[in-house]
């Protein structure tokens, strides 16, 4: 590295070493940081003792646990065995008991500009009322409750009410279709659905309840639908089945006993895309998950509940919303912002206006959002006072160094540390990330496993790779408290998906990774047929089956192509059935809308190409690699394993003919 300052161009992985850019933590930041070097030492010295200490220090247990980890039934883990606690008590009541009832839990900002401030004491009442209401609707410990709500405070109260009763919730993202909701409700055999009449999106009310009505027509396990009034839109009503939230919750008693549950009692199910069409119901349990959530939110986001205003921009329909809106920050007693709407409503500075208004000090968001803001221009955030921000976070997909540097400069005032956090629905909480008071940052890299977590990168044969730039598969090598306990109703699929690629010793994450020369981990995206579109996991198989379910489609192949804003974009190749003409744009629009209807607007293909053939191997496997080459406008790679090597020429000719 030269002293001249000209070296930053040598490679995108050496930014932190440029003499002009010091990305080590400032001494002021380090002095106040929750995450310390000592944590690494403690975790290395005794993994289980470290986690036992986190569980005991950060949570209130009604009954202490006797065994920290029972791994005798591996890969099925039990953490904090024998312990009992109530998650809602830990997230709300104990803060009130400790004299912090007047502290704001939630600053709610509706899209239309309506606001609500909810203290911990108020949240306690809301949760108790919702718990009483759910019980009056017949929900008991162990029953599953589906939640299909917009980003409103009732969503948080609903989740915590379920946790309080011990009824596992299954939150389904409000952007998912009726069909997606139906499969998730059926798989979890949910007894009650909590929804709203509608939600505000881009300045307009959009209905939600019709999707629930459609999802439970015919045979269904659902007995009651609890409906929050949000948009005042017209709704169909079934007097036997539907009840208004304001009728049964508002009038319920605000006293509700938080009965302790076993540490391993299921807390929630959350569906995520797998390599086959059927989504996997990832399930998490009580003590281990909450420990992971509270610990990581403290040491990675560096939340100081007395002084910080924290804002995680995720939707509660994703795991980030579960762990870093509901469970982590509330377990820590933090004050947070919840925003209902889109970043450009009513103007492209909306987020920065919110940061200025509430003096947000910690912001946790996704690279796709950051890239969108980059596109909108530096002048927009520059109009607002963002000086309250002291920690920035990123999650969902790799953040490219350019976006990282833009985020740091334009949002973080060139001083706020950025924590690029790698984790998954399955891991329950952050696994790989800088600790902002300890780590010298490396733009674009999630860097190191946090204290208590161990990772390796393996080659095809399962040998650890340590040399720089060697690309392999990321695995986690020791169980951790927040790990998934399984796939709901399918223990075999759990073993097969996560614990068979490299044997029972390694949790296979499904991500490619490499080390750089400094030992930082760089995540390289999924190695399976899962795409990452704006940080959301979508399976190629799921979208293919949606396309094939359209009467005009004979066959479909879907690939994720690199996209400047969304990371990856859905590109589909379809073969029409005989008798269906290719009507150009009209056909494409119809199929795009069909996918939106079947799965949800996030799955809508950016591009659909009608082709005569698909490239297949002799064993009939579609070679997506070649289609990706086409979708990304590259020279098409090796075609020698194709059953018919002329197919790619046909596809390419077809492309050049289309607009």
Least gap, CB of 529 to ligand 6R9 (angstroms): 13
Least gap, CB of 270 to ligand 6R9 (angstroms): 8
Q: Sign (positive/negative) of CA torsion 212, 218, 222, 224? A: positive
Token pair for 10: 């040598």
Least gap, CB of 407 to ligand 6R9 (angstroms): 13
DSSP letter (8 states) at residue 207: E
Binding positions for ATP are: 396-398, 420-425, 511, 526, 537
Question: E-assigned strands of 216-289?
Answer: 224-228, 242-244, 261-262, 266-272, 280-285
Question: Which of 208, 399 has the CB closer to ligand 6R9?
Answer: 399
Least gap, CB of 257 to ligand 6R9 (angstroms): 34
Least gap, CB of 511 to ligand 6R9 (angstroms): 5
Question: E-assigned strands of 229-354?
Answer: 242-244, 261-262, 266-272, 280-285, 309-312, 335-339
Least gap, CB of 637 to ligand 6R9 (angstroms): 23
Grouping H, G, I as helix, E, B as strand and the rest as coil, residue 539 is strand
Least gap, CB of 534 to ligand 6R9 (angstroms): 11
Cα–Cα dist 542/599, whole Å: 8
Question: Which of 68, 170 has the CB closer to ligand 6R9?
Answer: 170
Question: Which of 130, 432 has the CB closer to ligand 6R9?
Answer: 432
Token pair for 125: 């009442």
Assess contact for 494 and 75: CB atoms under 8 A.
yes
Stated as kind and residue range, the H or E segment containing 574 is: strand 567-576
Question: Which of 134, 558 has the CB closer to ligand 6R9?
Answer: 558
Question: Which of 68, 427 has the CB closer to ligand 6R9?
Answer: 427
Q: Which residue has the tokens 């947000």?
A: 360
Binding positions for Mg(2+) are: 548, 550, 553
- Determine the longest span between alpha carbons in the chain, in angstroms: 76
Edge-to-edge strand order for the sheet containing 224-228? Answer: 242-244, 224-228, 192-196, 145-148, 169-171, 266-272, 280-285, 486-487
Least gap, CB of 195 to ligand 6R9 (angstroms): 22
Token pair for 314: 């995720």
Least gap, CB of 630 to ligand 6R9 (angstroms): 23
Binding positions are: 201-204, 320, 396-398, 420-425, 511, 526, 534, 537, 548, 550, 553
Least gap, CB of 536 to ligand 6R9 (angstroms): 7
Least gap, CB of 526 to ligand 6R9 (angstroms): 5
Cα–Cα dist 302/435, whole Å: 8
Q: Which residue has the tokens 């629009």?
A: 589
Question: Which of 10, 500 has the CB closer to ligand 6R9?
Answer: 500
Question: Which of 110, 481 has the CB closer to ligand 6R9?
Answer: 481
Q: Which of 451, 454, 494 is nearest to 475 (CA)?
A: 454
Cα–Cα dist 418/440, whole Å: 10
Question: Which of 331, 588 has the CB closer to ligand 6R9?
Answer: 331
Binding positions for CoA are: 201-204, 320, 534
Strand-pair category, 521-526 with 78-81: unpaired
Query: Given the rule CB under 6 A, which residues bind ligand 6R9?
Result: 272, 318-320, 395-398, 420-425, 446, 509-511, 523, 526, 532, 535, 537
Least gap, CB of 366 to ligand 6R9 (angstroms): 8
Cα–Cα dist 475/510, whole Å: 8
Q: Which of 482, 451, 150, 431 is nearest to 291 (CA)?
A: 482
DSSP letter (8 states) at residue 152: S
Cβ density class 146-181: b for 16+ within 10 Å, e for less: bbbbbbbbbbbbbbbbbbbbbbbbbbbbbbbbbbbb
Phi, psi dihedral angles at 644 (to 5 degrees): -135, 105
Question: Which of 391, 630 has the CB closer to ligand 6R9?
Answer: 391
Strand-pair category, 169-171 with 192-196: unpaired
Question: Which of 285, 425 has the CB closer to ligand 6R9?
Answer: 425
DSSP letter (8 states) at residue 383: T
Question: Which of 224, 536 has the CB closer to ligand 6R9?
Answer: 536
Least gap, CB of 320 to ligand 6R9 (angstroms): 5
- Contacts of residues 578-586 at CB distance under 8 Å and 24 or more positions apart, as own/partner, are 578/554, 580/551, 580/552, 582/610, 584/658
Assess contact for 541 and 276: CB atoms under 8 A.
yes
| 175 Cβ neighbours under 8 A, 6+ residues apart | 315, 317, 600, 601, 602
Cα–Cα dist 432/310, whole Å: 21
Least gap, CB of 402 to ligand 6R9 (angstroms): 15
Question: Which of 263, 439 has the CB closer to ligand 6R9?
Answer: 439
Question: Which of 252, 418 has the CB closer to ligand 6R9?
Answer: 418
Question: Which of 274, 288 has the CB closer to ligand 6R9?
Answer: 274
Assess contact for 337 and 358: CB atoms under 8 A.
yes
Cα–Cα dist 635/211, whole Å: 43
């Amino acid at each position: 590295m030269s002293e001249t300052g000209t070296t930053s161009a040598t490679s995108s992985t050496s930014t932190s070493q440029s003499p002009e850019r010091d990305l080590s933590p400032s001494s002021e930041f380090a002095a106040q940081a929750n995450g310390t070097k000592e944590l690494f030492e403690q975790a290395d010295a005794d993994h289980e003792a470290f986690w036992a200490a986190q569980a005991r220090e950060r949570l209130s247990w009604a009954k202490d646990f006797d065994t920290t980890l029972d791994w005798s039934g591996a890969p099925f883990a039990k953490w904090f065995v024998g312990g009992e606690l109530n998650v809602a008590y830990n997230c709300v009541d104990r803060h009130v008991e400790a004299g912090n009832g007047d502290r704001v839990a939630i600053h709610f900002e509706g899209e239309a500009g309506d606001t609500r401030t909810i203290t911990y004491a108020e949240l306690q009442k809301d949760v108790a009322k919702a718990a009483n209401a759910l019980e009056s609707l017949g929900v008991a410990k162990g029953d599953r409750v589906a939640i299909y709500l917009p980003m409103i405070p009732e969503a948080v109260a609903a989740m915590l009410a379920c946790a309080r009763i011990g009824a596992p919730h299954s939150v389904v993202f409000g952007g998912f279709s009726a069909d997606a909701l139906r499969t998730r409700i059926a798989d979890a055999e949910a007894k009650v659905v909590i929804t709203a009449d509608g939600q505000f999106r881009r300045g307009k009310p959009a209905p939600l309840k019709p999707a629930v009505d459609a999802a439970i027509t015919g045979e269904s396990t659902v007995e009651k639908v609890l409906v929050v009034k949000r948009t005042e839109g017209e709704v169909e009503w079934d007097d036997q089945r539907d009840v208004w939230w304001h009728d049964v919750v508002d009038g319920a008693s605000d006293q509700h006993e938080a009965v302790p549950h076993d540490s391993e009692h299921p807390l929630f199910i959350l569906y995520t895309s797998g390599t086959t069409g059927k989504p996997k119901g990832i399930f998490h349990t009580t003590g281990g998950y909450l420990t992971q959530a509270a610990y990581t939110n403290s040491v990675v986001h560096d939340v100081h509940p007395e002084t910080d205003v924290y804002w995680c921009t995720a939707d509660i329909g994703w795991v980030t919303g579960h762990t870093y809106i509901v469970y982590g920050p509330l377990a820590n007693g933090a004050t947070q912002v919840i925003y209902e709407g889109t970043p450009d409503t009513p103007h492209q500075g909306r987020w920065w206006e919110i940061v200025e208004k509430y003096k947000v000090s910690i912001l946790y968001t996704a690279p796709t959002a950051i890239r969108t803001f980059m596109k909108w221009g530096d002048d927009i955030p520059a109009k607002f006072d963002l000086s309250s921000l002291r920690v920035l976070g990123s999650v969902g997909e790799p953040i490219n160094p350019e976006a990282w540097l833009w985020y740091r400069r334009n949002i973080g005032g060139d001083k706020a540390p950025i924590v690029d956090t790698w984790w998954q629905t399955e891991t329950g909480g952050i696994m790989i990330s800088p600790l902002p008071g300890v780590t010298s940052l490396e733009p674009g890299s999630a860097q190191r496993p946090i204290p208590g977590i161990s990772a390796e990168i393996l080659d095809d044969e399962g040998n650890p790779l340590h040399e720089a730039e060697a690309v392999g598969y990321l695995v986690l090598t020791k169980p951790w408290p927040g790990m998934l306990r399984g796939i709901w109703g399918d223990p075999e699929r759990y073993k097969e998906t996560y614990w068979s690629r490299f044997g029972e010793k390694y949790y296979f994450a499904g991500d490619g990774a490499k080390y750089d020369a400094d030992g930082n981990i760089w995540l390289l995206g999924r190695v399976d047929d899962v795409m990452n579109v704006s940080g959301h996991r979508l399976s190629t198989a799921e979208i293919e089956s949606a396309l094939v379910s359209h009467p005009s489609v004979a066959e479909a192949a879907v690939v994720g192509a690199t996209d400047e804003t969304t990371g990856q974009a859905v590109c589909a190749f379809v073969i029409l059935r005989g008798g269906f003409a290719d009507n150009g744009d009209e056909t494409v629009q119809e199929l795009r809308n069909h996918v939106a209807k079947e799965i949800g607007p996030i799955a809508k293909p950016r591009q659909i190409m009608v082709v005569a053939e698909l490239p297949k191997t002799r064993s009939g496997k579609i070679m997506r690699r070649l289609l990706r080459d086409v979708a990304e406008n590259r020279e098409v790679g090796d075609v020698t394993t194709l059953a018919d090597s002329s197919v790619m020429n046909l596809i390419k000719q077809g492309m050049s003919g289309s607009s």
